[in-house]
Amino acid sequence: MTDRIIIQRVLDGDVEAFSGLVDRHYARCARIAVRIVGNREDAEEAIQDAFLRAFKALGDYEDRERFSAWLTRILVNQCRTVLARTKRRDALFAELDPRWLEFSVAADLDEGTWPELEDVLERLPADQREAIVLKYADDLTYEEMSRITGAGESALKMRIQRAFARLRAMLQEVPSV
Amino acid sequence: MSDWFERRVARSLQANVPLSGDERARRGVMDRVRLAAAEGHPVRRRRADPWRRSRNSILGLSLAAGIGGITTLSVVAPDARPAASALSSVVIGDTVVATLRDTLRLVRLMFDAPDARRVAVAGDFNRWNSNATPLTRENGSREWSVTLALRDGKHRYAFVVDGTRWVPDPRAERSAPGEAGRIYSLLNVSRATN
């Protein structure tokens, strides 16, 4: 069943049909939110709020845009809200010791996940982290990313480029063979 | 830029996180969605849709006046009591009538409550409004009833007795737990059940 059919069912009063959208998109939203906000608890809250906002606004959804991209736009906004709140919260605590960022890359290319990357993502500026997560975790085009973030495509490309430069530096990359 | 570093970053970011498969977290989303539905969401956008208005007015006309026509609307009732014989649609044209027939089905709900002063039905079809859809009864009758026009699909509902007491339909084949300890009845409306 397509997203469009599920949405129509929900708008026709079948609330439970919305679980089809949750099941289909939750894992993707989790990949995005955890990387953007940096921890599971805040990510779960952002995702719940995003789905709830999407449900309430479903009557405004226009199917000329992919539902996944529409939902991602809502999710990114919720993540930004969470980040703004946690930034205020974290400001109450002492600054982190930058030495904890001194990682060495365990260059196991067969691994699907890269724990050190998850850690250093948090140290990227929020706009660069958001851009690289949307680009690679959600496989969005620059045009879609532009609609979601409100930034221009060239600005997004620059953010990705700068994000990679920082990641390489932080992960102490050895030049590729 | 597509070297091993970029590919590895991409592969890592595309990998699921522990939260991705968390059933509890997904249920949490639906719990909040159900509460929002009970509050009247999602709100339909108001847009020019003459076809939708036309269908609604046509249905209202046919329900209210029972004007003789060429097609009888489908009916499904939990108590298997057919109500179609009393209702027919207005002569409009084959296309309109066919669409109407395929889109909405009439469901007659009945509830035995001789001592009740008023009975209504609340469900996902009326956004759980306990005042929107009252049942009526003939003088001296113990049975309350209402006829609903519902779309195909599963609907949850409960009777609201005297404005405060939520009661599941004893004639419903299925029920499910709802918010605030309530039990909702389940009604599956489909072409196949006619």
CATH number, position B132: 2.60.40.10
Whether residue B2 lies within 8 A of chain A, CB to CB, comes out as no
Q: What is the pLDDT of residue B44?
A: 61
CA B72/CA B70 separation, integer angstroms: 7
Domain span at residue B80 reads 44-193
CA A139/CA B15 separation, integer angstroms: 12
Q: State ipTM.
A: 0.77
Q: How confident is the model at residue A96 (pLDDT cuts 50, 70, 90)?
A: very low
Q: How confident is the model at residue B49 (pLDDT cuts 50, 70, 90)?
A: very low
Whether residue B6 lies within 8 A of chain A, CB to CB, comes out as yes
When mean pLDDT is compared over A113-117, A161-165, B62-66, B108-112, the highest value belongs to: A161-165
| Residues A31-63: tens digit of each pLDDT | 999 989 888 888 999 999 999 999 999 988 887
Q: Which of A26, A55, A109 sits opposite B20 (nearest CB)?
A: A26
Residue B3 lies in a domain: no
Residue B35 lies in a domain: no
DSSP per-residue codes, B6-58 = HHHHHHHHHSPPGGGG-HHHHHHHHHHHHHHHHTTPSPPP----HHHHHHHHH
pLDDT tops 80 at residue A67: yes
Contact A26 B17 (CB under 8 A): no
Looking at per-residue pLDDT, the higher value among A89 and A32 belongs to A32
Mean pLDDT of chain A: 81
CA quadruple B47, B48, B51, B55: dihedral sign: positive
Q: What is the pLDDT of residue B126?
A: 81
Looking at per-residue pLDDT, the higher value among A23 and B42 belongs to A23
List the CATH code of the domain at A95-177: 1.10.10.10
Q: Which two tokens stand for residue B151?
A: 């779309």
Residue B69 lies in a domain: yes
pLDDT tops 80 at residue A17: yes
Q: How confident is the model at residue A1 (pLDDT cuts 50, 70, 90)?
A: confident
The region that residue B130 occupies, defined by phi over 0 for left and psi between -120 and 50 for alpha, beta otherwise, is alpha
List the CATH code of the domain at A1-93: 1.10.1740.10
* Chain B residues with beta carbon closer than 8 angstroms to that of A111: 12
Residue B85 lies in a domain: yes
Contact A161 B13 (CB under 8 A): no
Residue B109 lies in a domain: yes
Contact A22 B32 (CB under 8 A): no
**Cβ–Cβ under 8 Å, residues B24 and A35:** no
**Cβ–Cβ under 8 Å, residues B73 and B106:** yes
**Cβ–Cβ under 8 Å, residues B147 and B108:** yes
Residues of chain A above pLDDT 70, percent: 81
CA A140/CA A63 separation, integer angstroms: 17
pLDDT tops 50 at residue B148: yes
Whether residue B27 lies within 8 A of chain A, CB to CB, comes out as no
Contact A17 B153 (CB under 8 A): yes
Q: Which two tokens stand for residue A71?
A: 């939902």
Question: Rounded to a whole number, what is the distance in angstroms from the first to the last CA of chain B?
Answer: 61
Residue range B31-41: mean pLDDT, rounded: 81
pLDDT tops 90 at residue A106: no
Whether residue B176 lies within 8 A of chain A, CB to CB, comes out as no
Residue B33 lies in a domain: no
**How many domains does chain B fold into?**
1
Residue B51 lies in a domain: yes
Q: Which of B17, B25, B153 sits opposite A14 (nearest CB)?
A: B153
Q: Identify the bridge partners of residue B16 per DSSP, sorted by sequence position.
A: none
Whether residue A173 lies within 8 A of chain B, CB to CB, comes out as yes
CA-based nearest distance B113→chain A, Å: 27
* Chain A residues with beta carbon closer than 8 angstroms to that of B1: 161, 164
Q: How confident is the model at residue A18 (pLDDT cuts 50, 70, 90)?
A: very high
Residue range A147-174: mean pLDDT, rounded: 88
Contact A55 B18 (CB under 8 A): no
Q: What is the pLDDT of residue A53?
A: 94
Whether residue B24 lies within 8 A of chain A, CB to CB, comes out as no
**Cβ–Cβ under 8 Å, residues B144 and B167:** no
Q: Which two tokens stand for residue B48?
A: 């020019």
Nearest residue on chain A to B13, judged by CA atoms? Answer: A137
Residue ranges of domains in chain A: 1-93, 95-177
Whether residue B29 lies within 8 A of chain A, CB to CB, comes out as yes
Whether residue B33 lies within 8 A of chain A, CB to CB, comes out as yes
Q: How confident is the model at residue B172 (pLDDT cuts 50, 70, 90)?
A: confident
Whether residue B47 lies within 8 A of chain A, CB to CB, comes out as no
Given the structure tokens 């099941």, which residue do they identify?
A: A23
DSSP per-residue codes, B51-85 = HHHHHHHHHHHHHHH----S-PPPB--TT----GG
